Amino acid sequence: MTAVQDHTEEHDVHAPPPRRRTGLWRLLAPGWLRAIWMTALFGALGVGLVVGIRASAGWRPIIDWEPIITAAFLTAAPIGFLAGIGAFDYWLRWAFGFPTQPEDHSGHGAKRWTDYFRINTDHKVIGVQYVVTTVFFFLAGGMLAMLVRAELARPESDFVDSQTYNELFTAHAALMIFLFVIPAFAGLANYVLPIMIGAPDMAFPRLNALSYWLLPIAGTMMLTSFFFPGFGAGWTNYAPLSVDQPFGNVFFSMAVQWAGASSIMTALNFLVTIITMRAPGMTFWRMPLLVWANFTTSLLVVIATPFIAGSQFFVMFDRVMHTNFFDVVNGGYPLGYQHIFWFYSHPAVYIMMLPGFGIASEVISSMSRKPIFGYRLMALSLVAILILGFSVWAHHMFVAGMAPWLRIPMMITTLLIAVPTGIKVFSWLATTWEGRINFATPMLWALGFVSMFVIGGLSGIFLGAVPIDIATSDTYFVVAHIHYVLLGGSLFTIFAGFYYWFPKMTGRMYNETLGKVHFWMTFLAFNATFFPMHIIGVQGQPRRVYTYEDQFSEWNIFISISSFVLGASFIVFIYNMIVSWARGPRAPANPWRANTLEWQVSSPPPTFNFDEIPQVVGNPYEYGVPGAKHAILNGDREAATETATEEVRR
């Protein structure tokens, strides 16, 4: 820890900023100008490479757009962009033996708004970059959902054609999962987690910057897929259908690689940060539950994500390189795709839920003014979900035609997950019991999450029981279930986190009235939209259809109208965030009177978080315990030692 401490103390005296380059030299400085020409250059090199290989090997036609776009525009050009914006500068200088630039921390902190648009190694700036980018993709994905509901408002096909419809719901899911829920949690944790454990930054700040910049690349690919034309095989992208899809499908396959690489880098960064950079005294059993949640999530990410990368590479190879992973005639095995895909994508459900559990624990404890109930069991149930989460993937395949006996063990593990999840729900409720509950907006979202997640969890039990799953699989019942879990669960906790840490991140307070309006509008419209889907699902409306029987038309028009209200509720959110960020009242350091470390520093925190690494002396949720302290900051050390000795004496 001494090394870290010395490092931090230096920062009061900043090294002089690097000399500004002028004229044509600016083209060589890391930034957007260099990114533009390097993207073009790498794209051109990619085209040249593919055409050159094809010409020299005598393959006809020489200009074949599928491999050209895959290699040049989905692989080489993004690398050029990353190199141009400056993501690799330090490493490349080091690798090629050039003198590395001494770390002057000019890449740390944001003094102007333009600092958010360049490579920045400050975890707080990166956290804000993540959050703003993911909100953008959330709005894009939400617009797609509005178009889906517009088509489904009437039974007949009257708004978009079949291909467009398939592309709409596919891109909706892909954006929400890969560009919103997963990175939004990563962004929030990026901001608060290092402060929570008393660290000046993440373990690998340059890797952190790189993992952020991979996201806009993945998102741009998913959005541009519509023009090629899009991919419409569902976000699950099941083979062999995905292999026959229009070319946009490769955009998905590659976007998943970029987003997945970003996830893995961030997860590694979190793991190393949590393991090695905790402040003195911050033992594992003193870590806030958000840190526990991101620790377990990161383990899920690093172990599982390579599987979806593999599954998408196989699909892409089948298309672009004419391999036979899923081509039955040549010995391919379509069910293999599903096994590999779900080996990631079921743990991904927990990747999208465990950080939310962490946020809910923070908010519910501090807003109930009570210690979290059963802290150790809360942490251990995260670990139980982590382990069980890897043993349930085939419950997505109960009707898929895999070995029938495999359904029983998968059902057992699936239903067993209800136990640790139930422990968490009951513990949150017990935490509010006899508390002094402050119903500020973050608390509304956190409690809204608990209640919606209970419904999503119970419908999950229906789907986990094989006989019921056989009847309801691939119907709107499943659509209802995933939205209760991912919208009522993940999204609600993300909003709890956004509102809870908004004062910390921006230094300003959001508007409480608008926050409450947003919550109630979303909460009611969400239930009106998704609860009826359980009913039409059980009654027999399959998912992923653009037209349906007249018997479902009444519920569907009701669902569509509710969904438009749900969509409109986010306008309130955006308005509140923008106006409050610009003109909201200044936030105090600790508006929620919370104990965790991020609230013990100013809002927003100083560039390196702490003037001096704090000394952790107790648990993070000791509300109501007389004289309890989580940590000692800034020279309070002697005073604290005195108090401690005094207490011992007493």
Residues 333-362 that bind another protein (CB under 8 A): 333-335
Candidate residues 585, 593, 635, 645; the one interacting with another protein per rule CB under 8 A: 593
Count residues near another protein (CB under 8 A): 86
Positions in 90-109 near another protein (CB under 8 A): none
Provide, rounded to whole angstroms, the least separation between the CB of residue 165 and another protein.
8
Q: Answer for the pair 552, 564: CB distance below 8 angstroms, yes or no.
A: no
CA 455 to chain centre: 22
CB of 545 to another protein, least distance (A): 4
Q: Does 468 bind another protein (CB under 8 A)?
A: yes
Tokens of 629: 């302290």
Q: Counting contacts by CB under 8 A, is residue 272 touching another protein?
A: no
Residues 377-416 that bind another protein (CB under 8 A): 377, 399-401, 404, 407-408, 411-412, 415-416
**Could you give the string, one character per residue 236-265, with x where binding to another protein holds by CB under 8 A and - elsewhere?**
--x-xx--x---------------------
Distance CA(369)–CA(375), nearest Å, equals: 15
Single out the residue of 34, 206, 278, 370 in contact with another protein (rule: CB under 8 A). Answer: 370
Dist CA 445 CA 190 (whole Å): 21
The CA distance from 290 to 445, in Å, is: 16
User: Which residues sit opposite 542 in a β-bridge?
Assistant: 475
Q: CB within 8 A of 583, min separation 6: which ones?
A: 508
Nearest CB to another protein, comparing residues 120 and 170: 170
Which residue's CB is nearer to another protein, number 307 or number 548?
Answer: 548
Supply φ then ψ for residue 475, to 5 degrees.
Answer: -115, 180
Site string for another protein, 567-586 (x = CB under 8 A): --------------------
- Say whether residue 180 binds another protein (CB under 8 A): no
Burial of 283 (0-12, 13-18, 19+ CB in 10 A): exposed
Among 11, 105, 369, 637, the residue binding another protein under the rule CB under 8 A is 369
- Of 30-38, 134-142, 185-193, 624-632, the window that binds another protein (rule: CB under 8 A) is 624-632
Q: Residue 219 CB, nearest distance to another protein (Å)?
A: 23
Shortest Å, Cβ 620 to another protein: 12
Neighbours of 392 (CB within 10 A): 23
Question: What residue has token string 């986010």?
Answer: 570
**Tell me, what DSSP letter sits at residue 374?**
T
Instruction: Identify the bridge partners of residue 586 per DSSP, sorted by sequence position.
Output: 508
Which is nearer to another protein, 21 or 593 (by Cβ)?
Answer: 593
- Taking the least distance from each CB to another protein, the nearer of 233 and 633 is 233
Helices (H), 58-178: 65-68, 77-85, 89-95, 123-152, 162-174
Dihedral of the CA atoms 584, 590, 592, 596 (nearest 10)?
140
State which of residues 292, 343, 357, 373 lies at the interface with another protein (CB under 8 A).
Answer: 373
Give the shortest CB-151-to-another protein separation in angstroms: 11
The residue with tokens 């409480």 is 512
The correct pick among 142, 229, 280, 435 for binding another protein (CB under 8 A) is 435
Site for another protein in 119-178 (CB under 8 A): 157, 162-163, 166
- Regarding 479 and contact with another protein (CB under 8 A), the answer is no
SS in 3 state form for 144-175? HHHHHHHHHCCCCCCCCCHHHHHHHHHHHHHH
Q: Give me the least distance between CB of 398 and another protein, in Å please.
A: 9
Q: 477, 533 in Cβ contact below 8 A?
A: yes
Q: Segment 538-557, which members bind another protein (CB under 8 A)?
A: 538-540, 542-549
